[in-house]
Amino acid sequence: MGNYQPMTDQLALPGFSRRSVLGVSAGVAALPSWGGAQTRTPTPQPPPGHIEVVLTVNGQDNRLSLDPRTTLLDALREHLQLTGSKKGCDQGQCGACTVHVDGKRVASCLTLALAVDGRQVTTIEGLSRPGDPLHPMQQAFIDHDGFQCGYCTPGQIMSAVACVHEGHAKTDDEIREYMSGNLCRCGAYPHIVEAVRDAKAKMENG
């Protein structure tokens, strides 16, 4: 990425310039108005082609300067050292990277970090605070042996919490259907279904 060259200059349109792109900063989500030279230079100047973003993760604001190609998953793991979210397929097919954005489960590997500027991201690290009791879903995965190697587990748990919140965990069949975006190569599926069923009851009574 060292020889990265921003491309916008070659595609310059009226009202667009590289500087206006760099002018996109935290909380400011606007192209310059047409015919108006509305540009701002952020300070400090990020590396060429990088854009400043504020990622709100587990309630904490993080100001980062990112290559636009950075996915939310890579921003979490490589820039914020939150390595609980896992990279499996990196194509949105396995669910290991599942996090919540504004309370909805999404595949962080197919989400650009810049596109969640200003939104609330929750990762597995944010489900319970260090020293506090585990989230009922985390505890249920332990109690029911809902994993073997554990690689898919953070994604399974984030997906399962959302599945309960969505109201899509009423029956075992429904749990299987609405958890189908999370693959487990170890084949822990029967125990995962038990864990979700158990945690649902505790989440609703707790």
Site mask, another protein, residues 31-70, x = CB under 8 A?
A: x-xx--------------x-x---------------xxx-
> How far apart, in whole angstroms, are the C-alpha atoms of residue 130 and residue 30?
38
Site mask, another protein, residues 156-185, x = CB under 8 A?
A: ---x--xx--x-x-------xxxxxxx---
φ, ψ (nearest 5 deg) of residue 60: -115, 135
Q: Which stretch binds another protein (CB under 8 A): 91-99, 133-141, 144-152, 188-196?
A: 91-99
CA distances from 40 to 4, 48, 61 (A): 22, 15, 22
Determine the size of the site formed for another protein (CB under 8 A).
Answer: 49
CB of 124 to another protein, least distance (A): 15
> How far apart, in whole angstroms, are the C-alpha atoms of residue 104 and residue 120?
10
> SS in 3 state form for 10-30?
HHCCCCCCHHHHHCCCCCCCC
CB of 63 to another protein, least distance (A): 17
Tracing tokens 């979490």 back to the chain, one arrives at 76
Assess 134 for contact with another protein (CB under 8 A).
no
Q: Considering only residues 40, 63, 104, 170, which one is a binding residue for another protein as defined by CB under 8 A?
A: 104
Question: Which is nearer to another protein, 18 or 86 (by Cβ)?
Answer: 18
In sequence order, what are the beta bridge partners of 163? Answer: none
Q: Is 5 exposed, middle or buried (0-12, 13-18, 19+ CB in 10 A)?
A: exposed
CB of 130 to another protein, least distance (A): 27
Question: Which is nearer to another protein, 12 or 142 (by Cβ)?
Answer: 12
CB of 8 to another protein, least distance (A): 4
Token pair for 98? 């599942």
For the chain, what is the largest distance between any 2 Cα atoms, rounded to a whole number of angstroms? 62
Q: Which stretch binds another protein (CB under 8 A): 56-64, 107-115, 122-130, 185-193?
A: 107-115
Q: Which of 55, 74, 73 is nearest to 64 (CA)?
A: 55
For binding to another protein (CB under 8 A), which residues are involved? 4-8, 10-11, 13, 16, 18, 21, 24, 29-31, 33-34, 49, 51, 67-69, 71, 90-92, 95, 98, 104-107, 110-112, 114-115, 159, 162-163, 166, 168, 176-182
